[in-house]
Amino acid sequence: MGQTGPMSDGVVVVGGGFAGFWAVAAARRMAGEISVTLVAPQPRLVVRPRLYEARPETLAVELAPLLETLDVRYIADSAAGLNSSDGVVTMASGAELGFERLIVATGSVMRRPPVPGVDEVYSIDTQADAMRFDARLAEIAQAVADPVVGVVGAGFTGIELALELRDRLEGHGGSGDNLRVVLIDRAQEVGPELGAGPRSVIEEALREAAVEVVLGVSIERLAADRVSLGEGEILSVDAVVLATGLEAAPFAAEIPGGRDRAGRVMVDEFLRAPGAPEVFVAGDAASADTGDGHRTLASCQHALQLGRVAGENAARDLLGLPLVAYEQLRYVTCLDLGRSGAVLTRGWDREVVQTGTDAKQRKTLINTEVIYPPANATRAQLIAQSQLDPATRN
């Protein structure tokens, strides 16, 4: 494993996140003797939904043993260019890899606001970013008596991070009681993408945690020690961390066809790129209809199923079998609210069905078990778990 080897003549998956891993597992289940290859910079699945938590250095799964169990070839590289008509991916290393069917699961990156100083502040977009921010929290805990941390972005990730910071500072030996957390967004309400359903629960959790919420403001400039807001207002801080939303990673732009505002490829019902029929797209790189007129979100909930469907369909297409239409009619959200527990919602109208400790237990189960590939799994177990959600076959 880890060697480029001969050009592939089967299914190639680029991207080793949730969608990419389950795409290779589903493709292997269907493909028989056809080769299945995963291309990713490292054979590690970063558990990105948990990077707001403490100890981010622990939040990754080693894929090498699982790929070996599945008989999936691994190439340590990243996709840089695509010639879909010739069936060739060009790697960052300059190597070329041929494919008969390609699955693009290259994920998303944080959308950085176009303001001066944006590269001087922290984020939790990648595991390395989250580790750098955690190191800064450790420094603050030991050296600053009354620290101030600014969180830019009051969406899903920003809320979870803001409500976790007191406990994280205490974990580094600091005083969470002395920490001032300021949550900043240009929107007029917290969690605008979460809708009105859970908003009162979120707002109450922020009040209980004494998180200062500054909404409806524009940021003029960022620096390591300050946030410059409109009308000359300056917020002095000991750290600034961005949680400003996601867009498709750059490789998605190589795929012919239409895209949404986040740069995601608008795929058909089989997750195929209409402008490149040998290319399937999954995870945060894809915008797909979930089966009821709603579009998929950049979330592991959708990525897990998108990966399975794309993997199965790429192999089916190569074998001349009918393709399976993607559906994911069940939709829930579970937002971590720190010391206030969590809030669980159901459906696209986000009806609140559980809060507090019970919802926190559900969130912990999701974060620590449900989204993880099974550890030390046998080939049969991995193949079984690569089966599509039964709702997809209805």
DSSP string, 155-173: SHHHHHHHHHHHHHHHHTT
Please give the structure tokens belonging to residue 320. 């001349």
- Long-range CB contacts (within 8 A, 24+) of 270-274: 270/309, 270/313, 270/323, 270/324, 270/325, 270/326, 271/306, 271/309, 271/310, 271/313, 271/326, 272/313, 272/317, 272/323, 273/84, 273/104
CATH class of the structural domain 11-110+246-330: alpha beta
Conformation bin of residue 118: beta by default, left when phi > 0, alpha when psi is -120 to 50:
alpha
Domain ranges of the chain: 11-110+246-330, 118-242
2 vs 238, residue with greater confidence = 238
- The CATH-assigned architecture of domain 118-242 is 3-Layer(bba) Sandwich (3.50)
DSSP string, 370-388: ITSPPTT--HHHHHHHTSP
Average pLDDT of the chain, as a whole number = 94
The whole-angstrom separation of Cα 245 and Cα 3 is 35
**Confidence check: pLDDT of 388 > 90:** no
Q: Output the pTM of the full model.
A: 0.94
Sorting pLDDT into bands at 50, 70 and 90, what band is 389?
low
Token pair 């592939």: residue:
8
- Name residues whose C-beta falls within 8 Å of residue 6's C-beta, 6 or more positions apart in sequence: none
Nearest to 321 by CA among 13, 105, 32, 23: 32
Bridge-based pairing state of the strands 332-336 and 342-346: antiparallel
Domains 11-110+246-330 and 118-242 alike in fold: yes
pLDDT (tens digit, 9 = 90+) per residue, 244-279? 999 999 999 999 999 999 999 999 999 999 999 999
Q: For the chain, what is the largest distance between any 2 Cα atoms, rounded to a whole number of angstroms? A: 66
The pLDDT tens digits for 69-113 are: 999 999 999 999 999 999 999 999 999 999 999 999 999 999 999
Can you tell me which residue has the tokens 């629960």?
201
Which residue is associated with the tokens 């790929």? 67
